[in-house]
Chain A
Amino acid sequence: MEQDFDADSFVTQAAAALDLPLSAEHRPGVVHNLAHISAIALLVMEFPLPEKTEPAPVFRP
């Protein structure tokens, strides 16, 4: 996945989808961070979870 992932064009499109203007000054940092997040996401996405695992946000005392 990460080989094909183009963080730069993703940032452009995703920011447009959210109507989030990006200044030229901030853009490189955002692309850098998004690329970093995508590498971290791979660690989570590649893990084979049982199909029906549901999120369970709180502990029941």
Chain B
Amino acid sequence: MSGFSGALDIAQAIRDGKMSAREAAQQALARVAALDPKLNAFTLVTSERALAEAAAIDAKRARGDTLPPLAGVPYAVKNLYDIAGVTTLAGSKIEAAKPPAARDATAVASLHKAGAVLVGALNMDEYAYGFVTENAHYGATRNPHDPSRICGGSSGGSAAAVASGMVPLALGSDTNGSIRVPAALCGIFGLKPTYGRLSRAGAFPFAASLDHVGPFARSVADLAACYDALQGPDERDPVCRQGPAEPATPELARGVKDLRVAVAGGYFAPENAELREVLMRAAKALKAARTVEIPEAARARAAAFLITAAEGGALHLPALKTRAAEFDPAVRDRLIAGALVPSAWVIAAQRFRSWYRDQVLALFQESDIILAPCAPGPAPKIGQESMELAGAKVNIRANLGIYTQPLSFIGLPVVAAPIAQAEKLPLGIQIIAAPWREALALRAAYALEQEGIAAAPIPTL
């Protein structure tokens, strides 16, 4: 078994007795020890828990029990997920003094039930308010494709941990693009499911109206397997969908012949020539027949921005009153300003969200899948403040989410897919489906992967 196997390969090898869960966990821990000093993705390594979970899987197999789908698969989580016995940081210094979590977040408990083995917690922008993972308290996480560059954010540690091969699976969260942007910049797959699909209970909130959780992986099959393991109703999250899981894995290989694929034009037409080229390559492979205009996307982004600022500011108001100096300076002033936003702006943004949702849903009458760029270009350098966009110099932190924010705003499911490019920094696209149709987006991603158009090769560090 190579050191860099995928999740399902590892689970199969353990099931077949070719390796033990203990060996898989030890290999993952060894990779973290060797690679993480170069990347700074992990803020905590949970060796003891990993070895205990692995031992339980090995004992199960020894008894002859049927192993669960992700038995022995190592994974790690953004450090905003509750891990029983560990203090949840959410990228902050303030939370570090709080007591440890009494129980696992629902997503962590689900992966435990599916047999996966937790090896640690991962770096992020403080309180998830950022796209760069240059954290003032815990340092910048580096991009495995070029450690002088950012890995994106806010789930940057999650993307770097998977892209570098340290783990085959990781969990992140996405409010405005925080799974999709780092997936694109690190060249891996990410899934931001429909708003309400996966339970967020025990994941530190940011802007509750827009918060989603989701997985990262280096293959579509692994991504779907993790997503399937995370599904199910949860009383602990008021937004979480009732009703049974709708597994995507059985759908993956159904092909795309019957899917009507469109490309988003206008606002979503990429300025970056290479990005335009990779988007067209994916569109051609999926036989995209039309261009669609997502109306008022810039206004949608503005509305998402307002809701995020206000909800984030209100959430952190108590600490902003008493401990403002302990926040990451990159986050603090935005949260304070957000706490002061007049309510009429936020309510107008929520009403606009309803109007915009109806407009966008109408587009799915004629298309099953809409393709759009993901991040606006390759990963910027660590510490870089501005980048070129549409011939103008713009602020990086404010603009990495231009293509992602108008879609999470109405909770559409999106697969971020890395488009293969030899010898170049990764670029990704968004594969967007109608609400609750994650399986269609995953099918399209799987088709691109089968054709060699989407791929997540591990860089040599």
Interface residues of A (CB under 8 A from B): 10-11, 14-15, 18-23, 25-26, 29-34, 36-37, 40-41, 43-45, 47, 49-50, 53-59, 61
Q: Mark B104-128, 1 if CB is under 8 A from A, else 0.
A: 0000000000000000000000000
B43 at the interface (CB under 8 A from A): no
| Contact of B320 (CB < 8 Å), options: A20, A44, A50, A55 | A20
Q: Per-position contact with A for B193-216: 1 when CB-CB < 8 Å, else 0?
A: 011100000000000010000000
B332–A56 CB distance below 8 A: no
Contact between chains at A44 and B239 (CB < 8 Å): no
Within the complex, which residue of A32, A45, A47, A58 is in contact with B333, where a contact is CB–CB below 8 Å? Answer: A32
Instruction: Tell me if B345 and A53 are in contact (CB < 8 A).
Output: no
Give complex CA distance A23, B347 in Å.
29
Q: Chain B CB within 10 Å — which of A14, A23, A41, A49 has the most?
A: A41
Determine the chain B residues whose CB is within 8 A of the CB of A54 once the complex forms. 351, 354
Q: Which of B191-244 contact A (CB under 8 A)?
A: 194-196, 209, 239, 241, 243
> 1/0 per position for B90-112, CB-CB distance to A under 8 A?
00000000000000000000000
Q: Is the CB of B350 within 8 A of A57?
A: yes
Interface size on B, residues (CB 8 A): 45
The 4 A-B pairs at the shortest CB distance, nearest first, are namely: A29-B333, A33-B337, A55-B350, A14-B340
Contact B309 A37 (CB under 8 A): yes
Q: Is A55 touching B351 in the complex (CB atoms < 8 A)?
A: yes
Chain B residues whose CB sits within 8 angstroms of the CB of A11 once the complex forms: 337, 340
Most chain B Cβ neighbours within 10 Å, of A11, A19, A25, A59: A59
B56 an interface residue at 8 Å Cβ cutoff?
Answer: no
Query: Complex Cα distance A30/B406, Å?
Result: 25
A25 vs B332: C-alpha distance when bound (angstroms): 12
Known contacts A45-B348, A53-B351, A55-B347, A40 near B333 by CB under 8 Å: no
Interface pair A45/B345, CB less than 8 Å apart: yes
CB within 8 A of B334: which of A10, A33, A57, A61?
A33
- A-B contacts, 13 listed (Cβ < 8 Å): A10-B340, A20-B321, A20-B339, A26-B336, A30-B337, A32-B333, A33-B336, A41-B306, A41-B345, A44-B303, A49-B351, A53-B354, A58-B411
Main secondary structure on chain B at its contact with chain A?
helix
Residues of chain A within 8 A (CB-CB) of B339 are 18, 20
Q: How far is the CA of A11 from the CA of B305 in the complex (A)?
A: 19
Which chain B residues border A19 with CB–CB below 8 Å? 321
Instruction: List the B residue with the shortest CB-CB distance to A13.
Output: B340
Instruction: State whether A30 touches B336 (Cβ < 8 A).
Output: yes
Cβ contact within 8 Å between A57 and B336: no
- Asked if A47 and B196 make an inter-chain contact with CB atoms under 8 angstroms apart, the answer reads no
Any A CB within 8 A of the CB of B387: no
Q: Pick the residue among B338, B345, B436 that contacts A44 (CB under 8 A).
A: B345
Contact between B306 and A37 (Cβ–Cβ < 8 Å)? yes
B348–A44 CB distance below 8 A: yes
In the complex, A19 Cα to B241 Cα: how many Å?
38
Cβ contacts under 8 Å, A21 to chain B: 321, 324
Known: A11-B340, A23-B325. A49 touches B350 (CB 8 A): no
- Tell me the minimal C-beta distance from B133 to chain A in angstroms: 21
Residue contact B340 to A44, C-beta cutoff 8 Å: no
B302 CB within 8 Å of chain A = yes
Residues in chain A near residue B302, CB distance under 8 A? 40-41, 43-44
Taken together as a complex, chains A and B put the C-alpha atoms of A32 and B336 apart, in Å, by 11
**Contact between chains at B340 and A18 (CB < 8 Å):** yes
Look across to chain A and name the residue whose beta carbon is closest to the beta carbon of B310: A37
Contact string, B424-438, partner A, CB cutoff 8 A, digits 1/0?
000000000001100
